């Protein structure tokens, strides 16, 4: 190396080292996402990824997003979350209930990184939680189900017996029975969020019981395919599942995370982010009722939409008394509504559901 080159390289290095701080200020905010399933699941994870893309579209160069998909719920999640932290992400969304403890553990080690955990209840100074009031949407499709059933038997494919799923079963049953007092609800637990073959078998088992409307809280389209074979109807879950419209998919509950993700990323960018628990529903646009198809009579559609609008406006709460628990004991008095605490710990069926919750 001759002297001229040496001087040049020293000069270049000085320029770089001087330039770095200035460049660092313009560095985009890195936002990480942990998904429980593949982006292409067409349901739960797909909708979270749509939210991520909305963040990118909203903030452009100011953010940089990454995601890790198909992360199993359990110990390995901690490694995946830590990996995102070490890659420089300053805001991390963990998008499944089972990531709750791993998120809290990692958050304790990295206090300057902000975490957002979906559907959980444990928070810390740098861990916020967010959830959607899916039961509001269930009230609307429960109404359609109650009106549409001819056998008066509605089937429900549950994933796991956790409060979020139980809320949905109760809410859809209450509203189905409101419009059709003869309605019965059959519940089958698949013990999986996503297992197409098992979901198909569960749907077949329900259909063999004489069910002609299937509601599902699992993420694949297998129950819709089975419903179609048997001439029954169903609803899209998590995403629209429009490929099965106009029938068997007569409507759907869509998770719309985009508004929340945009809001929270924006708060981190302008420094106003705080740890809080958000539980938004139809009124905030987080739960969307997919198009109700022509397979549903116009008056039923109008009734369902009216219920949706009343819930959105806050005029009606899907859990309004008088309501009793399945064991016959009183729960809500006339006009009383359930509190969020009661709902987030819900572990009982309402009166009229004969199935039992596995313990």
Partner 1 sequence: MIDPIALFLLLLSASTPILFAALGELVVERAGVLNLGVEGMMIMGALSGFATAHYSGNAFLGFAAAALAGALVALPFAILTQFLMSNQVASGLALTLFGLGLAALFGKPVEGVKAPTMAAGPLGLNWIVWLGLAMVPAIWWFLNRSRAGLILRGVGENHDAAHALGYDVRQVRLAAIAFGGAMAGVGGAFISIATVLQWTEGMTAGAGWIALAIVVFSNWTAPGVLAGAWLFGGVTVLQLRLQAAGVRVPVQLLSMAPYLATIIVLVAISARQKFSRRAGGAAPGSLGQDFHALR
Q: Cβ of residue 243: shortest distance to partner 1, in angstroms? A: 5
Give the separation between CA 51 and CA 256, rounded to whole angstroms: 7
DSSP helix/strand/coil, 122: coil
**Closer by beta carbon to partner 1, 195 or else 303:** 195
Q: Which of 99, 115, 194, 319 binds partner 1 (CB under 8 A)?
A: 194
Question: Pattern 100-139, binding to partner 1, x per CB under 8 A?
Answer: ----------------------------------------
Q: Is 202 in the site for partner 1 (CB under 8 A)?
A: yes
Burial of 159 (0-12, 13-18, 19+ CB in 10 A): buried
Q: Is 247 in the site for partner 1 (CB under 8 A)?
A: no
Q: Is 12 in the site for partner 1 (CB under 8 A)?
A: no
Residue 227, φ and ψ in degrees, nearest 5: -60, -40
Give the separation between CA 237 and CA 253, rounded to whole angstroms: 5
90: DSSP letter: S
Give the separation between CA 31 and CA 128, rounded to whole angstroms: 15
Give the separation between CA 200 and CA 222, rounded to whole angstroms: 5
Q: Cβ of residue 49: shortest distance to partner 1, in angstroms? A: 12
Helices (H) and strands (E) in the chain, counts: 11, 14
Q: Is 198 in the site for partner 1 (CB under 8 A)?
A: yes
- Candidates 14-22, 164-172, 185-193, 254-262: pick the segment binding partner 1 (CB under 8 A): 185-193
**Closer by beta carbon to partner 1, 19 or else 242:** 242
Q: Which of 81, 166, 169, 211 binds partner 1 (CB under 8 A)?
A: 211
Helices (H), 26-161: 44-59, 75-86, 100-109, 134-148
- Positions that interact with partner 1 (CB under 8 A): 37-42, 70, 155, 186-192, 194-198, 200-202, 204-206, 208-209, 211, 220-222, 225-226, 228, 242-244, 354-356, 358
């Amino acid at each position: 190396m001759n002297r001229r080159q040496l001087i040049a390289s020293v000069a270049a290095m000085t320029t770089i080292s001087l330039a770095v701080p200035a460049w660092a200020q313009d560095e985009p905010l890195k936002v990480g996402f942990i998904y429980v399933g593949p982006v292409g699941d067409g349901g739960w994870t797909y909708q979270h990824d749509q939210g991520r893309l909305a963040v990118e579209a909203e903030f452009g160069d100011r953010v940089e997003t990454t995601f890790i998909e198909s992360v199993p719920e359990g110990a390995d999640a901690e490694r995946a979350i830590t990996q995102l932290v070490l890659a420089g992400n300053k805001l991390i969304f963990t998008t499944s209930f089972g990531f709750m403890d791993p998120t809290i553990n990692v958050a304790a080690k990295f206090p300057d990184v902000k975490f957002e955990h979906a559907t959980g209840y444990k928070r810390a100074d740098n861990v916020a939680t967010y959830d959607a009031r899916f039961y509001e949407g269930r009230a609307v499709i429960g109404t359609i189900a109650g009106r549409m059933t001819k056998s008066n038997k509605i089937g429900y494919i549950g994933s796991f017996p956790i409060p979020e799923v139980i809320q949905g079963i109760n809410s859809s049953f209450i509203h189905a029975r409101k419009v059709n007092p003869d309605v019965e609800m059959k519940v089958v637990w698949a013990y999986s969020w996503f297992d197409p073959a098992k979901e198909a078998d569960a749907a077949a088992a329900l259909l063999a019981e004489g069910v002609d409307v299937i509601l599902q809280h699992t993420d694949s389209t297998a129950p819709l395919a089975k419903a179609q074979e048997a001439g029954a109807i169903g609803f899209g879950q998590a995403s629209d599942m429009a490929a099965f419209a106009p029938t068997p998919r007569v409507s759907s509950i869509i998770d719309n995370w985009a508004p929340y993700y945009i809001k929270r990323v924006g708060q981190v960018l302008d420094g106003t982010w705080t740890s809080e628990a958000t539980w938004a529903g139809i009124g905030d646009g987080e739960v969307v009722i997919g198009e109700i198809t022509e397979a549903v009579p116009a008056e039923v559609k109008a009734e369902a939409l009216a219920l949706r609008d009343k819930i959105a406006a806050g005029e009606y709460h899907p859990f309004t008394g008088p309501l009793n628990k399945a064991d016959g004991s009183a729960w809500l008095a006339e006009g009383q509504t359930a509190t969020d605490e009661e709902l987030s710990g819900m572990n009982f069926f309402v009166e009229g559901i004969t199935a039992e919750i596995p313990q």
